[in-house]
Amino acid sequence: MDNLPPSTEPAPGQKLEVKCDVTVIGGGLAGKAASLQLARAGLNVTCIEPAEVIRQPVGESLDWSAPELLSALGLPMDDLISAQMATWKRHVTVKLRDGTSEQYVPSAWLAGAPFHLELRTLHVDRLRLDPELLKMMIAGGVTLVRDKVVGIERNGSNGRNISSVRTAGGARFSSPWFIDASGFATCLLAREFNLPAIHSGPAKVAMWNYFPVSVSPPGTTLYMDPMPSEYLEWIWEIPVSPNMVSVGYIATGAAIKAKRDRGSSVEEIFRQQLMKFPRFEPLLREEVLNPTNVTSFRSRVQIGVAGPNWLIAGEAAAMVDPITANGVTAALRHAAEASNLILKYRSRGTLPLSARAAYSSRILQMAKFFNGGIEKIVYEPPVRNRIGATTAGTLYTSPAWSMNVLYARTKPRGVVATFLFGLLLGAFRVSAWILYQFCKRLTPEPAAPV
């Protein structure tokens, strides 16, 4: 993020006291989107983002609901394509090591009456998209502060109200409203308020890098070598620009630790995994531009992500597993909903309990649906062993895509709509659980060693 525009920073020894309408903690995708929307609505917004990068921007293969959200920010698909910030995502292909492959693409009839669904979506080059969004945010009047929030000051009878945040640079930012978009690693308000969380699956590690190619493939490809008794590992190939692909490997933290304990470096592990698929041999012969990126994460969702004058958005609220390609949609959706709630209840000064409960419930139900479904149907062996990895992919993809579309279409907001949508998501979760238990019982126990 070397090209960050100038920002407010306290001079050495100077204590900076800033008052504004909304303080946004974190300038990742969720923070930038929320800041921009609030500033456009006329609010005085401060977005606090550290100068040093905590994690390289990632999240390049977009779900079919993301383009509409980007367009609402002023980034329509055609503009992103012509500015070479994105490529078309025509399909998702799963390729197994044994040569089997399956292509997932929404049926063409959905584009016609009465559905009129947008069947196109994108891969985005985050190293170009994020700075562009940042420029738009600054141009929209947001004050960007390059600093790191290190403390929260609370008031109100029960201590649930936030009055200000303090930064490492010694500044204090006071405002009637706060949005925490500090990402998975920081989760500032969830830690501050000790919010409970629901975890799905084990801790995982992602390694990724970028390779030049003469022609980018027209879709996202997921490479897998599913082992009948093991949790799934996979590799992504995402064409982020016409001549560049992002390639990443995801495995459990335990599997990576075992490899590291045997003396393998990150680069060696990454290379070994890619060499399993002939597609990557020519890419690995090319010189990569930068060291391989590494991050660890665990899919989870926080409970109670809204307070009287604060909301949590993006990965700080819910970490959705990357294989679902739903993180960007979720981050942009949270940002839009959190901003709208602040605008709606601004004059009241506080969010009503019903609005807090509905916002938190939507984030909880959607994250549980995506994370629970992918764990039970694709990552864990029982279902994919029984029906095959590619059929498991279809079984997961169809409801996941439909629920996202339905969410985008119906826009559940109030308590009743949120409750009904939650029931529908719950029904799918229960079905996945029943299928999982059924397949698990049918799977013979491995023979005891003699």
Residue numbers of the site for ligand FAD (CB under 6 A)?
25-31, 48-50, 54-55, 57-63, 148-149, 181-183, 186, 188, 206, 295, 297, 314-315, 322, 325-329, 331
* Residue 64 vs 436, nearer CB to ligand FAD: 64
Inter-residue contact 313 to 30 (CB < 8 Å): yes
Among all residues, whose Cβ is closest to ligand FAD?
A: 28
**Which 8-state DSSP code applies to residue 114?**
T
How far apart, in whole angstroms, are the C-alpha atoms of residue 106 and residue 398? 9
* Residue 329 vs 385, nearer CB to ligand FAD: 329
Least Å from the CB of residue 434 to ligand FAD: 28
- Pairing type for strands 220-224 and 92-96 reads parallel
* Residue 325 vs 358, nearer CB to ligand FAD: 325
Least Å from the CB of residue 180 to ligand FAD: 9
Inter-residue contact 134 to 27 (CB < 8 Å): yes
- Pairing type for strands 197-199 and 177-180 reads unpaired
* Residue 163 vs 350, nearer CB to ligand FAD: 163
* Residue 151 vs 349, nearer CB to ligand FAD: 151
Least Å from the CB of residue 421 to ligand FAD: 20
* CB crowding 411-439: b at 16 or more within 10 Å, else e: ebbeeeebeebbebbeebbeebeebbeeb
Least Å from the CB of residue 183 to ligand FAD: 3
Inter-residue contact 147 to 47 (CB < 8 Å): no
| Nearest residue to 177 via CA among 72, 364, 307, 310 | 310
Least Å from the CB of residue 335 to ligand FAD: 8
Tokens for 177, please give them. 């409203």
How far apart, in whole angstroms, are the C-alpha atoms of residue 343 and residue 391? 44
* Residue 251 vs 425, nearer CB to ligand FAD: 251
Least Å from the CB of residue 250 to ligand FAD: 7
